[in-house]
Amino acid sequence: MTNPNQSRSLEEISNPIQRIFFTWTRSFTKQAIRKDQPLSTIQESILTIPSTYGIGRFQEESASVRRSKKVMPLVIHIVCQLKSSFLAYALLSFLTLALQFSIPYLFPDILRAIINDSSQPHGATLGAIFLFVAIQMVKVISNSQFLHFRWKLIISTEFNYRNILFKNILRKKESAQRAGQLIDLYGNQISWFRGIVWFIDGISSALGILFGVALLVMYLGAGGLMGCILLFAAPMFSRLLHELNRVDTELSRANSKRLFEINDYLNKYREAKQMNFTNYFIRKINKARSRQSEFLHKKSKIQILLTLINYSLVPLTAMICIGFSSLMGYPLSVEKTMASFIVFGLLDRCINDFLVSINTVRQGLKAASLVKEYVSLDEEEWEGSRGTVEKAGTISLKKATYSRPNDPGQILLTDIDLTVNPGQLVIIVGETGSGKTNLLRAIAGYLERVQGEESAELRCEEVMDHSPLFPVSIRDNIILDRPYEEARYRQIIHLCELSKDLEQWTNGDSTVINTDMVNLSGGQKKRILLARAAYQNAKTVLLDQILNSLDAKVRKRVLKNLILDYWNDTTRIMVAATMDQELFERADQVIVMKQGRINDIFQKNAFDYNTLRDFLPDEKVIQMNNESITKALSEEQSLKREEPGPEEQEKIKQSSLRVLKHYFLALGSRPLLILFIALFILAQVIDAASIYIVPRFGGNTANPMLFASIYFGIALLLVITNVVRISIIYLGNVKAGEALHQQLLQRVSKLSFLQFSKQQNGALSARFSNDMKVIDMDMSGYTSNLLESFFKIIAAAILIAYSDFYMVLVLGVFLIFFNKIQKEVRITGKITSRLANEAHEPCLAILKSVAADSNYVRKQSLQTYFTNIWEGKITDALNAEYTRQSVNRLYLFWIEVAGYFTFSVFLILMSLRGFSGDSVIIYVTLTYTLTAFSNFEVLLRDLRHMEIGTNSLERILGLERGKSPVSAMEATPSVMDTAGGLTIRNLSAKYSDSIPVISGLTLKLEPTENLLVKGRTGSGKSTLFYCLTRFMEYEGEILLGDTNVKSIPDHLLMKKIVTLPQRPVLYHGTLRDNLDPEQQCTDQEIWSVLEKLNLRGRVSSLQQEIDEDQGSFSQGEKQLLNLGRCLLLKPELLLIDEATTDIYGAQESDLYRLISRELPNTMVIGISHKETQSSFYHNILDMEEMKLQKIR
């Protein structure tokens, strides 16, 4: 979407000469190829799409057609909007086709003139050569403009319908589960809209096939009809493509399953490491990868046949046709036979283009049917931005029963009677799983009412676990579509205690969530959401345990300054987690929830504190739990300072040659690789030999039987050569992909989560998805095609140099220029691809976020706001894609000019100097060179693709190879006594070059002693846990019994020391897998643990599937299930990191008694601020004083 007021693009202001020679693109390429330029500087020089692409007009006409409600198929609609460009594209397509086939038409005359008049050149010969050169140059220019219109149509169509897709998503009610499908529509399905453009290519290719067959009949007589073998092979080719599409569908499903398992692992990496789930995930991922490899083998076999046809069909058919004509006694002209080789090459390209067009058109029509739902909706009027402040209203629920959305059978709340007057403060309390959060969600409108009456405030701000933060800056997340008011904004930032956080971030409140930063702590997220609610002037706010994630001092100030004072006149409905005296004194109502019902309602000053204390700890004895996350973020910032500088990065980075060497060695053994390269060279020799024997053994005086026998022998050798070399690369690539995937998975599993926090989750996910996709699906083709193209160029250069020594100088200049071009192609290809991908990322992030949180967007009338953001992002993506295609056309133009200039000089020298050598060499050289030089477009494409493949290999192989920061000794001790308690001697640990967080800690605990660790934020409590689990470097000794933990192998250490993390997680899979990942317990043992945790009634079967998105269990129940894992694992040392924050009162005390009873031989070290837990521990360690105090 372009801004109509923007300045004209470089292409528009350039003159015709600049447009023909593409000099207007040099402003970008000069920046791109400079090694000292950062990507941000290159990005500033990105080319701007010209208004002639018709984006704005396309949008206006598209909206007009949709509003008029005309019945028009989507494909016809697209063609109608861009009919002038489609017409120009068709004309240029036919012109380029005609120019291509004029070359073999004129070639026999030129060849005859050079050979026959070599001793005395004539003007007619030079004239024919200059005509030939002129046609070549016109073809280059025509082809360049042809590609210009192709990408104009493709880019216009794809981006316009991505724009329409987004706007219609805003009008539809979406769900988080559909977000993945919408991303597929954006990234994959709409990209197939190019099939509409390729329909014209299909028509042009069909005409090319007719022209080719006509020329073959003209040159080879009846034998030329054998060219129809290509047409007879086409249905087989088409059937193979159809089978390939079917296998690709199955492969896509298998790959989706693999990526699902990988993302589940990466998203919960920290907890998986702490709770000994790493091997469980590795097994699941390997199983999914094995299934994917089965389909990769099937696909490789089909690709071998397709590539065999592609490589063998043209030369094989040429041999059959020429051999057949010779046997039939047809008078073969050497010159026309030579020209027939060029015709076969063009015919091969036409048939390939025709079949690809059919497949692309088919995919385009399929994509249009899938996208139709989202781009063919009637226009709706949006409510627009919220210009006025709503009045507060009374919330009234009468006998209301609520179910899960779209599932009326799943009742969540029953018989809810509630009245909340404007400005009231309502507190909701209840046991774990009693329905507190669901009551807030019902009021917010997220649950479906199946009975009763409701009259609720429709627009309210919410601060809950599922409340969205969008992929825009922090400031934009707070103000949204409201006008920016500096004074009020600063006041709210102060009230929400965000000032210090903003100072810590490099970009302050301009920091883009999920882009400029890796994580937000729970407390930071809640405070940003609180700031949004305050800035939006909402008259009703819903708050779900927001104080849990806040530090004690911050919690007190936010409660007093914002919730109680600033929102004094605002309706506040709040789930409480602590017995804050001031909060309950100011409350107008306290609602007690139990089993999805309102069990009791206490009016102001009539609270039963004894009842409330059954599940709420007193405020005086609790400090909430964001310390660990805050500490993790500070650790992450320290780790970021360890990033190597540019020089060190250059030393670490593997060269492309080394990376490719690693890949080739993964394909097979060294002798097999030598054979592979040798077969590529042999294929070029066979190709040249098939041309050589025509003038040498063919012609009118040839022995037809001898000629045909030689040709058929060469044909058989060609087929064998291609079968072997293609099988090596495609089957070897499957093997290499499996090895690289296994290496990548093992390296990721060996990272500590401290290292992992430095690595972007998305970057690791991209390695498993995008990069492995390149290796699995494309790398074999990239490698094979590039080697084929390079060997052709080298063979052509050798033939030219052998034919005329004076051409060595010209060839030298050409090869120097070619080397310069290929280097720039690789550099700019990498940069433009990266810019295009990075430009798409914000679009995908906005689309995914808006789709996943469409309920919130629609409730808050934010459609116009997000449309404005989207148009800026989609414009950047459009310009990046336009830049990539413009730069590609620049290099294609100049390499074709250089190639045909070299060939033309060779022709002119042959004509002027004459040729006294063997004329057969000239026949072979001219024919082979013209065939090789006609594939520059393919060569540059292969260069760009190979660079993409090399980059993917670098990212996969470039991941840090380390194990955990402290590696276990290779030799496992013969005697490993770990049952003698815990001894720590002179322990010191620090992050980067900072002051040690722990210094000189020494203590000894007996096997039956439990330890409570206390201290302020940053005092080293979490650091102590990281050292005990060997997740970070440290100095000193840690002994478990008599064994140094550094000597315990990783797989044993994870079983002996288990951490119960602060954030409870459940993994996708069965409940049994979640509780017993190693499958070491019986069903009876698992049911027994569930019974002791009072969860037996919440579980229908151990095989029930866990889906966190569906909210099967509350946060408190998740914490109980996490504890259940530990009870089944029975570790020697259990580390509890504030893991009972959502479990209160008597229930929490019961849990600690359960741990003592079920794990009598387990030592427990806990981090907690709840004094109610002190009775469980024998010792208290004050991390600030480094003192151990016995308490019982």
In terms of DSSP H, where are the helices of 457-521?
Answer: 474-479, 486-495, 499-504
Question: Which residues, at least 6 apart from 449, have a Cβ–Cβ distance to it below 8 Å?
Answer: 400, 401, 402, 442
Q: Are residues 889 and 1022 in the same domain?
A: no
Number of domains in the chain: 2
Taking the C-alpha atoms of residue 737 and residue 645, their distance in angstroms, rounded to an integer, is 31
Least confident residue range of 302-311, 445-454, 523-532, 953-962: 953-962
Taking the C-alpha atoms of residue 159 and residue 753, their distance in angstroms, rounded to an integer, is 39
Mean pLDDT of 1086-1100: 87
> What is residue 325's predicted lDDT score, i.e. its pLDDT?
75
Please report, for the domain that includes residue 1052, its CATH number: 3.40.50.300
Q: In what order do the strands lie in the sheet with 395-404?
A: 407-420, 395-404, 448-455
Average pLDDT, the chain: 78
For residue 1002, the enclosing domain spans 982-1190
Q: What is the pLDDT of residues 1064-1081, one digit of tens each?
A: 888 878 888 888 888 888
Q: Are residues 362 and 215 in the same domain?
A: yes
Considering 190-194, 363-367, 383-387, 677-681, the range whose residues carry the highest mean pLDDT is 677-681
Residue among 241, 240, 230, 224 nearest 205 (CA): 230
> Last residue of a domain, which of 907, 924, 957?
957
5 has pLDDT over 70: no
Q: What is the share, in percent, of the chain residues with pLDDT greater than 90? A: 9
In a domain, 720, yes or no: yes
Compute CA distances 450 → 433, 660, 1112, whole Å. Answer: 21, 62, 20
Token duo for residue 450: 């199946």
> What is residue 303's predicted lDDT score, i.e. its pLDDT?
82
Taking the C-alpha atoms of residue 161 and residue 1128, their distance in angstroms, rounded to an integer, is 53
Query: What's the sign of the alpha-carbon dihedral 1062, 1067, 1071, 1074?
Result: negative
1028 has pLDDT over 60: yes
Residue among 1064, 1069, 1053, 1051 nearest 1143 (CA): 1064
Q: What is the pLDDT of residues 567-624, one digit of tens each?
A: 998 999 998 866 677 788 889 999 988 888 998 888 887 766 666 665 555 444 333 3
Angle between helices 779-803 and 704-750 (to 10 degrees): 140
Taking the C-alpha atoms of residue 619 and residue 622, their distance in angstroms, rounded to an integer, is 5
The SS3 of residue 1066 is coil
> What is residue 524's predicted lDDT score, i.e. its pLDDT?
81
Q: Are residues 914 and 1058 in the same domain?
A: no
Q: What is the pLDDT of residues 936-952, one digit of tens each?
A: 877 888 888 888 788 78
Question: Which residues, at least 6 apart from 211, have a Cβ–Cβ distance to it below 8 Å?
Answer: 97, 101
Taking the C-alpha atoms of residue 988 and residue 1166, their distance in angstroms, rounded to an integer, is 20
In a domain, 586, yes or no: no
Contact indicator for 925, 799 with CB cutoff of 8 Å: yes
* pLDDT band at residue 916 using 50, 70 and 90 as cut-offs: low
In a domain, 962, yes or no: no
> What is residue 630's predicted lDDT score, i.e. its pLDDT?
41
In a domain, 395, yes or no: no
In a domain, 339, yes or no: yes
Taking the C-alpha atoms of residue 665 and residue 853, their distance in angstroms, rounded to an integer, is 47
Q: In what order do the strands lie in the sheet with 461-463?
A: 461-463, 540-544, 571-575, 425-430, 589-594, 597-603
Token duo for residue 689: 């030999």
227 has pLDDT over 70: no
Which residue shows structure tokens 């592979």? 676
Token duo for residue 597: 């019902």
Q: What is the share, in percent, of the chain residues with pLDDT greater than 70? A: 79
Contact indicator for 47, 10 with CB cutoff of 8 Å: yes
More confident residue, 101 or 362: 101
- Alpha-carbon dihedral of residues 1037, 1043, 1047, 1050, nearest 10 degrees? -110
Largest CA distance in the chain: 119
822 has pLDDT over 70: yes
More confident residue, 779 or 703: 779
Contact indicator for 1011, 1164 with CB cutoff of 8 Å: yes
Q: Count CB neighbours of 992 within 10 A.
A: 11
Mean pLDDT of 1022-1041: 86
534 has pLDDT over 60: yes
Q: Are residues 227 and 355 in the same domain?
A: yes
Question: Which residues, at least 6 apart from 764, have a Cβ–Cβ distance to it below 8 Å?
Answer: 266, 748, 756, 959
Mean pLDDT of 178-207: 78
Mean pLDDT of 309-334: 72
Could you tell me the end-to-end alpha-carbon distance of the chain, in angstroms, rounded to an integer?
Answer: 71
Q: Are residues 1051 and 924 in the same domain?
A: no
Q: Are residues 1042 and 1164 in the same domain?
A: yes
> Last residue of a domain, which of 941, 957, 973?
957
175 has pLDDT over 80: no
> What is residue 623's predicted lDDT score, i.e. its pLDDT?
39
Token duo for residue 938: 């393919």
701 has pLDDT over 60: no
Q: In what order do the strands lie in the sheet with 1011-1014?
A: 1057-1060, 1133-1137, 1163-1167, 1011-1014, 1179-1182, 1187-1190
Supply angle C-alpha 429, 434, 440, rounded to 5. Answer: 65
Mean pLDDT of 666-688: 88
Mean pLDDT of 434-459: 82
> What is residue 66's predicted lDDT score, i.e. its pLDDT?
54
Q: How many residues belong to the chain?
A: 1192
Taking the C-alpha atoms of residue 1127 and residue 1090, their distance in angstroms, rounded to an integer, is 10
Residue among 1099, 1020, 1028, 1027 nearest 1066 (CA): 1099
Taking the C-alpha atoms of residue 1158 and residue 1177, their distance in angstroms, rounded to an integer, is 16
Q: Are residues 877 and 998 in the same domain?
A: no
Least confident residue range of 139-143, 200-204, 496-500, 1020-1024: 1020-1024
pTM score, whole prediction: 0.71
* pLDDT band at residue 414 using 50, 70 and 90 as cut-offs: very high
> What is residue 233's predicted lDDT score, i.e. its pLDDT?
62
> What is residue 650's predicted lDDT score, i.e. its pLDDT?
44
> What is residue 1108's predicted lDDT score, i.e. its pLDDT?
58
At 616, which amino acid appears? Answer: L
> What is residue 426's predicted lDDT score, i.e. its pLDDT?
92
881 has pLDDT over 60: yes
Q: Are residues 940 and 1041 in the same domain?
A: no
419 has pLDDT over 60: yes
Which residue shows structure tokens 């609609």? 77
7 has pLDDT over 70: no
In a domain, 578, yes or no: no
* pLDDT band at residue 248 using 50, 70 and 90 as cut-offs: confident
More confident residue, 649 or 674: 674
Q: In what order do the strands lie in the sheet with 1043-1044?
A: 998-1005, 982-989, 1035-1040, 1043-1044
Q: What is the pLDDT of residues 252-265, one digit of tens each?
A: 788 878 888 887 78
Please report, for the domain that includes residue 314, its CATH number: 1.20.1560.10
Q: What is the pLDDT of residues 1096-1128, one digit of tens each?
A: 888 888 888 876 555 567 777 888 888 888 898
Q: Are residues 110 and 246 in the same domain?
A: yes
> What is residue 541's predicted lDDT score, i.e. its pLDDT?
92
230 has pLDDT over 70: no
Q: What is the pLDDT of residues 1034-1048, one digit of tens each?
A: 889 998 888 888 888
At 1155, which amino acid appears? Answer: I
Which H or E run includes 153? Answer: helix 123-171
Q: Are residues 1024 and 938 in the same domain?
A: no
> What is residue 6's predicted lDDT score, i.e. its pLDDT?
46
* pLDDT band at residue 700 using 50, 70 and 90 as cut-offs: very low
Q: Count CB neighbours of 374 within 10 A.
A: 21
Q: Are residues 939 and 989 in the same domain?
A: no
In a domain, 498, yes or no: no
> What is residue 91's predicted lDDT score, i.e. its pLDDT?
93
* pLDDT band at residue 773 using 50, 70 and 90 as cut-offs: confident
Residue among 1136, 1029, 1115 nearest 1066 (CA): 1115
Query: What's the sign of the alpha-carbon dihedral 272, 277, 279, 280?
Result: negative
Compute CA distances 461 → 441, 467, 495, 688, 997, whole Å. Answer: 11, 9, 17, 75, 40
Cα-atom radius of gyration of the chain, to the nearest Å? 36
Q: Are residues 710 and 855 in the same domain?
A: yes
**HEC profile of 1123-1174:** HHHHHHHCCCEEEEECCCCCCCHHHHHHHHHHHHHHCCCCEEEEECCCHHHH
Least confident residue range of 616-625, 723-732, 802-811, 1121-1130: 616-625
> What is residue 754's predicted lDDT score, i.e. its pLDDT?
58
In a domain, 1066, yes or no: yes
Q: What is the pLDDT of residues 50-67, one digit of tens each?
A: 876 655 665 566 556 555
* pLDDT band at residue 566 using 50, 70 and 90 as cut-offs: very high
Taking the C-alpha atoms of residue 434 and residue 418, their distance in angstroms, rounded to an integer, is 16
> Last residue of a domain, which of 914, 940, 957?
957
Taking the C-alpha atoms of residue 1136 and residue 1121, their distance in angstroms, rounded to an integer, is 14
